[in-house]
């Protein structure tokens, strides 16, 4: 009888232990809750506590205790096969959760400031994995970090050339000058560039940047374009200017083999904001790899003066690896033809307009954004969260009356627009394509506005405390 009772008690203990871990870590974790020898653990081997917060305009996790205390999105290092508990405290009052998808661990949602939850899972695989908040847009806003299990096999450092185009690189306004003959030199290159931290891509570029340089022209100018294909290129490249009246927009005479240069000259007949791109077959592959840019052809009197000008283009990458993968990302023809990109970005890289280059302005200033879509496939619904465009030069037309008071503007692949707006309230304003699931694939940027608050336009209203009356 005693043997039977002991066996029964042991079985109940095992079931109870599994049930506790099942509740804490979620149903999907239960399959790995117990080690192969069915030994029982009543407490986790490693515990971390994170608190949600806002830092530098981003949503983040901040270490709340121990060696990670105060660290933003800290690396969480654990031994292989350890039972790991991650506690999460809501520190900002927004809705959040925490998940480690590789181990099928996901918490419930936290909906109030000070609320807490936890996940428990067994880290039974060696490697580097991601923890994140799964709420739409929250990862893109900054809520992700690394879980490092064991001693991962050392990988080659995933570093590439900085190909992200500086949005401030807008050139000199033409003003009221007379037409002249100007020359632009474009070099086509094939380089391994930095897509985001820990991942790279073999970009094809104009002048080692994505997008290529903004070319600023006056209507009536005579323009010579020299296209040089780098010696170490593997492909023929060319350029098609949508601003050009002539065969292929110049592409018919600029199919340039590696190590050679070809040129053409055109007269700028039409003012406007125009896209240019490589037009060598397969054209869509050349474009998606980064071969696009814009030319601004200003009208005779130039453009009205503004305080800030920025150059922004939207692009797509089609890779065999899933979004978020580390290492070199490889081109996928199948996904390109299916028009199913893994990555979307402004100015060539995931963090180009959020970490590397922030758009900035002071309260009271007028901002102009020269915006285009390299594509090659997706139409953009360009929007700045928290702002209304005072003027939109629809489809890049500078001779048509601008639209006024516009929330979101549509820009086709190979199309452009120019928007202007005055900033009235300090804060961070997020640039997005309002097809908002694309934020999850990297498509966002930040306009940071500083200056004096104007409570007549916007201010936070805290609920009244019935006890204190305020």
- We report the CATH number of the domain holding residue 36 as 2.60.40.420
pLDDT, one tens digit per residue, over 197-214 is: 889 999 999 999 999 999
Residue 295 lies in a domain: yes
Residue 204 lies in a domain: yes
Residues 177 and 233 grouped into a single domain = yes
Residues 290 and 188 grouped into a single domain = yes
Residue 115 lies in a domain: yes
Residue 238 lies in a domain: yes
Q: What pLDDT is attached to residue 142?
A: 85
Task: Label residue 285 by pLDDT band (50, 70, 90).
Answer: very high
pLDDT, one tens digit per residue, over 440-470 is: 899 999 999 999 999 999 988 865 444 433 3
CA distances for 73 relative to 50, 116, 152, 397, angstroms = 9, 17, 19, 44
Residues 201 and 122 grouped into a single domain = no
Residues 264 and 130 grouped into a single domain = no
Residues 164 and 94 grouped into a single domain = no
Owning domain of residue 278: 155-457
Residues 40 and 65 grouped into a single domain = yes
Domain boundary, last residue among 116, 149, 182: 149
pLDDT, one tens digit per residue, over 362-407 is: 999 999 999 999 999 999 999 999 999 999 999 999 999 999 999 9
* Entry pTM: 0.75
- Of 117, 93, 92, 90, nearest in space to 105 by CA: 117
pLDDT, one tens digit per residue, over 96-153 is: 999 999 999 999 999 889 999 999 999 999 988 999 999 988 987 889 999 999 986 5
Residue 466 lies in a domain: no
Is 96 flagged in the annotation as binding?
Answer: no
Domain count, the chain: 2
Residues 177 and 122 grouped into a single domain = no
Residues 144 and 163 grouped into a single domain = no
Is 235 flagged in the annotation as binding?
Answer: no
Is 470 flagged in the annotation as binding?
Answer: no
Residues 178 and 218 grouped into a single domain = yes
Residues 179 and 33 grouped into a single domain = no
- Of 186, 196, 389, nearest in space to 294 by CA: 186
Residue 391 lies in a domain: yes
Is residue 369 within 8 Å of residue 421, measured between CB atoms? no
Residues 91 and 202 grouped into a single domain = no
Domain boundary, last residue among 94, 120, 149: 149
Residues 9 and 48 grouped into a single domain = yes
Is 237 flagged in the annotation as binding?
Answer: yes
Is residue 327 within 8 Å of residue 158, measured between CB atoms? yes
Is 242 flagged in the annotation as binding?
Answer: yes
Per-residue three-class SS string for 27-80: HHHHHHCCCCCCCCCCCCCEEEEEEEEEECCEEEEEECCHHHCCCECCCEEECC
């Amino acid at each position: 009888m005693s043997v039977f009772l002991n066996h029964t008690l042991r079985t109940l203990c095992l079931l109870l232990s599994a049930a506790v871990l099942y509740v804490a870590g979620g149903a999907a974790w239960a399959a790995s809750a117990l080690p192969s020898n069915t030994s029982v653990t009543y407490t986790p081997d490693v515990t971390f506590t994170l608190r949600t917060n806002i830092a530098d305009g981003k949503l983040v996790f901040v270490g709340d205790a121990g060696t990670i205390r105060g660290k933003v999105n800290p690396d969480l290092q654990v031994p292989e096969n350890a039972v790991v508990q991650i506690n999460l405290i809501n520190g900002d009052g927004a809705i959040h959760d925490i998940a480690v998808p590789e181990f099928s661990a996901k918490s419930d949602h936290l909906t109030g400031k000070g609320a807490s939850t936890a996940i428990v899972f067994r880290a039974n695989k060696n490697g580097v994995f991601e923890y994140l908040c799964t709420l739409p847009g929250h990862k893109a806003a900054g809520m992700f970090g690394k879980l490092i299990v064991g001693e991962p096999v050392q990988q080659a450092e995933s570093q590439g050339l900085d190909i992200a185009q500086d949005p401030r690189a807008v050139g000199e306004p033409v003003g009221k000058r007379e037409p002249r003959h100007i020359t632009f030199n474009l070099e086509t290159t094939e380089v391994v560039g930095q897509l985001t931290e820990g991942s790279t891509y073999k970009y094809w570029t104009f002048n080692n940047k994505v997008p290529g340089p903004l070319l600023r022209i006056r209507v009536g100018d005579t323009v010579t374009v020299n296209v040089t294909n780098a010696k170490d290129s593997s492909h023929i490249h060319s350029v098609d200017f949508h601003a050009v009246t002539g065969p292929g927009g110049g592409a018919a005479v600029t199919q340039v083999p590696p190590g050679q240069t070809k040129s053409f000259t055109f007269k700028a007949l039409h003012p406007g904001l125009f896209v240019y791109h490589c037009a060598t077959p397969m054209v869509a592959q050349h474009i998606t790899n980064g071969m696009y840019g814009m030319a601004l052809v200003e009208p005779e009197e130039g453009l009205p003066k503004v305080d800030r000008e920025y150059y922004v283009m939207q692009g797509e990458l089609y890779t065999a690896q899933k979004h978020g993968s580390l290492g070199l990302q490889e081109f996928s023809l199948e996904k390109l033809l299916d028009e199913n990109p893994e990555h979307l970005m402004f100015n060539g890289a995931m963090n180009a307009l959020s970490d590397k280059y922030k758009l900035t302005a002071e309260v009271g200033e007028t901002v102009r954004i020269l915006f285009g879509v390299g594509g090659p496939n997706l139409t953009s619904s360009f929007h700045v969260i928290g702002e209304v465009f005072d003027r939109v030069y629809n489809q890049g037309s500078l001779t048509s009356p601008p639209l006024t008071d516009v929330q979101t503007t549509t820009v086709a692949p190979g199309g452009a627009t120019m928007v202007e707006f005055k900033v009235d309230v300090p804060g961070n304003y997020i640039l997005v394509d309002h097809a908002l699931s694309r934020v999850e694939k990297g498509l966002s940027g930040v306009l940071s506005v500083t200056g004096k608050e104007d409570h007549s336009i916007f201010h936070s209203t805290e609920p009244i405390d019935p006890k204190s009356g305020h």
